[in-house]
Structure 1
């Protein structure tokens, strides 16, 4: 009976997602937002219609879906792309990380929060949602210098964010010294890079041989699942591993016309379930549990993105029409932030409640509103290109 309920629920979710996608086209809203709202409606915060066996699938599905996203984003980090946009990618991503941490920390401290707690929340606020941003880019159909730069930023900014979070964790937790948090980050990121290289380098030369010019769908699935599984087994970042493997294949596989385009054709069912189940796990009550503090945190993160995004864009020498739109385009926030919050809550149990509540509240807001901001930024840039 449980298996029947699982299959029936999955069937209904897939069909319901088609309706959400259609509504998104009619209303011009990102399909990510519509899927999250549908998940929120059928989840515990809404009608509570999902069977436990379905929500149990969220973790493995999210790992596979995000590893696919990481592969595709890593594929944007080609030598050609980095030569064209490397300065902008590095300056904007670093500016976003430092600026978000500083502005959120300063603002929350000025409002009376403990400086240590405020610093941790500022570091957590650096995280973005690569899945939502990459899907909005794909849905828009826009492919230009702005989307190439944005994809490059999304590919690496969570790496800087994890390093910043580890540094802030070490600053606040002087009882355990500097070594543990920094070594943890080094293992997570360094191990992910090493694993990605170990998978990506042989894959670059071995895949795409059976069908000339492009890896087969089976090859794409095999490499993604292998990377995700090894990352979990070795306890390293599957996002970093996927990104590194994708970058290695894109740069080294000269016999590929399209590096793992097959992933784009198979990722949507995984992404669909990922966003639906992500919406179902959102806790709507968290939005108003801490009242004005939640509102202040959200406002400060928006301000930080706008200010630091513009500063990084000016340093990166992007065209004037793009200077103001990188901040709004990078508003979505999701799983990496929750992961950081869990680590911080375990390290500082006395701050666990505000850390988790504020992070979940921000995730609810930015998962729903963030993709819309990204889409509007893409449309603004597109309209400027057409008019000029």
Structure 2
């Protein structure tokens, strides 16, 4: 006798959806390998497809894919990214990057953030939206820039400068975002003293947690033979950072970046923790990109079109002007750089969307606008970004 079919329970539905998302990611990889479409954009489009089914077809505008499982998956993916970014901030790398890269990088960051923040405020958008997007605009997608440069085989100074900038750019972005969230919490709170204490805890607590996890990890990890023990160590670090930062109410991105930097600088005996995380990172990023796309409120997307257009144009203008200033300052050192080098730093992906999700949690009243602006602009920047990189290199 064939058992009667019933609707799947929450656990079964979540497992089926996880499997379907990973299966679609394989299809996205196949499409990306045969076209010039970035796979991150394809995964975000898959998420938007999920949103279309839930919000329009099933008429469930408030439903969230995977229910309570989505938030931990996103948190783990963000912590992995921040930990790997921290691993790039070694003393040796910062010495070899040199002042030229720091000059251009800081010029693009400062001018770009000011252009986005001041521009949005001048257009009448709320302070929380303007400052959040200004901080988010700092982040760059290093993978898109690196892949485009390596595909062209360019080894000139401009290519080396771009590679050096994107290696540290998201680290700057996390610092700027943490400071911006703390400053906004203080500025928008009625109780300034309490808000200042909360901001100090969010930043100072993140530094303390990163040191508390990172210092013993730098000595303990990698002592066993390579393989599964090291993989377990790496996963343990990520889960501890994600769980403790959420419990303590501190910045998970900053805590993970501090831990990664400590392990990279103090752990002279191995680099395997970073390698193991890189091996397991992609499935979590798949869930992250798809769930980010699925989080967009399509029913109110038209209300955010003005913000989306303003953010895209202001970020492009800020990158261009920041690059112009950086090249002008660097020319004192006789650096042969193109004046539009800032446009090569246009691609934006995972870290920016992670910041948008965190900003939406901080300011739920503006969450829909922030997520819509960043997720939609990510599709634009990931599509035109590689073309702008090739233009600058050419």
TM-score grouping bracket, smaller chain normalisation: 0.7 to 0.9
Unaligned 5+ runs, structure 1? 346-351
CA spacing shift, 1:21–1:151, aligned 2, 3 Å: same
* Deviation (angstroms), 1:297: 3.8
TM, length-normalised to structure 1: 0.81
RMSD: 3.4
CA spacing shift, 1:71–1:294, aligned 2, 3 Å: closer
Alignment check: 8 A CA contact 1:208 1:255 kept: yes
1:28 to 14, 23, 36: 36
* Deviation (angstroms), 1:361: 2.8
Alignment check: 8 A CA contact 1:302 1:331 kept: no
1:75 to 69, 87, 90: 87
1:133 to 127, 133, 141: 141
- Residue 334 of structure 1 corresponds to 353
- Residue 183 of structure 2 corresponds to 167
Alignment check: 8 A CA contact 2:112 2:318 kept: yes
Any residues of structure 2 matched to 1:160-309 within 5 Å, and which? 160-167=176-183, 170-171=186-187, 173=188, 175-177=190-192, 179-211=193-225, 216-309=230-323
- Residue 371 of structure 2 corresponds to 360
CA spacing shift, 1:9–1:168, aligned 2, 3 Å: closer
- Residue 348 of structure 1 corresponds to none
1:152 to 168, 171, 176: 168
Q: 1: CA distance between counterparts of 2:337 and 2:324?
A: 10
CA spacing shift, 1:344–1:222, aligned 2, 3 Å: closer
Q: 2: CA distance between counterparts of 1:340 and 1:218?
A: 31
CA spacing shift, 1:273–1:167, aligned 2, 3 Å: closer
Alignment check: 8 A CA contact 2:73 2:287 kept: yes
CA distances 1:101-150 after superposition (whole Å, capped 9, x unpaired): 43234434544x27xx2x43331112348998255367668495533421
When structure 1 is superposed on structure 2, of 59-68 and 130-139 the one drifting more is 130-139
1:60 to 65, 72, 90: 72
Q: Count how many residue pairs are aligned between Structure 1 and Structure 2.
A: 369
Q: 1: CA distance between counterparts of 2:232 and 2:336?
A: 41
When structure 1 is superposed on structure 2, of 187-196 and 304-313 the one drifting more is 304-313
TM, length-normalised to structure 2: 0.80
CA spacing shift, 1:233–1:291, aligned 2, 3 Å: closer
CA distances 1:86-113 after superposition (whole Å, capped 9, x unpaired): 64565455445543443234434544x2
- Residue 12 of structure 1 corresponds to 20
CA spacing shift, 1:93–1:56, aligned 2, 3 Å: farther
CA distances 1:249-295 after superposition (whole Å, capped 9, x unpaired): 11111111555211111111111111111111122344421554543
